[in-house]
Amino acid sequence: KAKAPAPEAAAVAEPADPPAAASKPKAMFDLFADTDAVPDLPAAGEGVNRAGNDDTSDPEGFYQPRAGEMLDGRYSVQAVLGKGVFGTVVAALDTKAPAGEAEAPPGAPGDPSPPPASMPKVAIKIARANSLMEAAARKEAECINDLDEEIPQERERIIAVRSIFTHGRHLCIVLDLMYLNLRDFLKRFGTEGGKPVGLHIDAVRLYGRDLLMALNCLRRSGIFHGDIKPDNILVNHGMKGVKVADFGTACPVNDCTATPYVCSRYYRAPEIILGGSYGHPADMWSVGCTLYELYTGQILFQGETNNHMLKLFMALQGRFPNKLIKVAQFAERHFDETFAFLETSVDPVSKKAVTKRVADIRSLIDLKALLRVDECKPEEKGKVLQLASLLDSCLALDPAQRPTPEQALLHPLVKFGRRAEVKQ
pLDDT single digits (tens) 318-353: 999 999 999 999 999 999 999 999 999 988 888 899
The whole-number average pLDDT for the span 19-45 is 39
Tell me which CATH code domain 24-176 carries.
1.10.510.10
In this prediction, residue 222 has a pLDDT band, given cuts at 50, 70 and 90, of: very high
In this prediction, residue 40 has a pLDDT band, given cuts at 50, 70 and 90, of: low
| Whether the Cβ atoms of residue 246 and residue 31 lie closer than 8 Å to each other | yes
**Calpha distance 413→390 (Å, rounded):** 8
Q: What is the third-level CATH fold of 180-423?
A: Transferase(Phosphotransferase); domain 1 (1.10.510)
Task: Tell me what pLDDT residue 364 has.
Answer: 84
Residue 386 pLDDT more than 60?
yes
Catalytic residue among 94, 176, 202, 227: 227
Q: Where are the alpha helices (DSSP H) in 146-233?
A: 152-155, 182-189, 201-221
| 366 contacts: CB under 8 Å, gap ≥ 6 | none
Quick check: do 24-176 and 180-423 share a fold?
A: yes
More confident residue, 424 or 101: 424
Known active-site residue 227: yes
Range of lowest pLDDT (10-14, 16-20, 286-290):
10-14
Percentage helix, strand, coil for the chain under 3-state DSSP, each rounded to 5 = 35, 15, 50
| Whether the Cβ atoms of residue 128 and residue 60 lie closer than 8 Å to each other | yes
Closest CA to 273 of 245, 231, 240, 312: 312
* Helix, strand, or coil (residue 405): helix
Residue 25 pLDDT more than 60?
no
The model's pLDDT over 67-104, given as tens digits with 9 standing for 90+, comes to 999 999 999 999 999 888 889 999 999 999 876 554 54
Q: In the Cβ-directed half-sphere of 122, how many Cα atoms lie within 13 Å?
A: 27
The share of the chain scoring above pLDDT 90, in percent, equals: 73
Range of lowest pLDDT (106-115, 139-148, 179-188):
106-115
The model's pLDDT over 52-72, given as tens digits with 9 standing for 90+, comes to 445 678 999 999 999 999 999
Nearest 5°: phi and psi at 335? Answer: -135, 150
The DSSP 8-state label assigned to residue 44 in this structure reads P
This prediction has a pTM of 0.83
Residue 416 pLDDT more than 60?
yes
H or E element at residue 320: none
Task: Tell me what pLDDT residue 62 has.
Answer: 94
Residue 132 pLDDT more than 70?
yes
Handedness of CA 289, 291, 294, 296 (dihedral sign): negative
| Domain spans, the chain | 24-176, 180-423
The model's pLDDT over 157-191, given as tens digits with 9 standing for 90+, comes to 999 999 999 999 999 999 999 999 999 999 999 99
Instruction: Go through 54-70 and write b for each residue having 16 or more CB atoms within 10 A of its CB, e for each that does not.
Output: eebbeeebbbbbbbebb
**Calpha distance 288→87 (Å, rounded):** 30
The model's pLDDT over 255-280, given as tens digits with 9 standing for 90+, comes to 999 999 999 999 999 999 999 999 99
Residue 393 pLDDT more than 70?
yes
Closest CA to 184 of 228, 125, 230, 241: 230
Task: Tell me what pLDDT residue 84 has.
Answer: 85
Q: What angle do CA 306, 292, 81 make, to 5 degrees?
A: 85
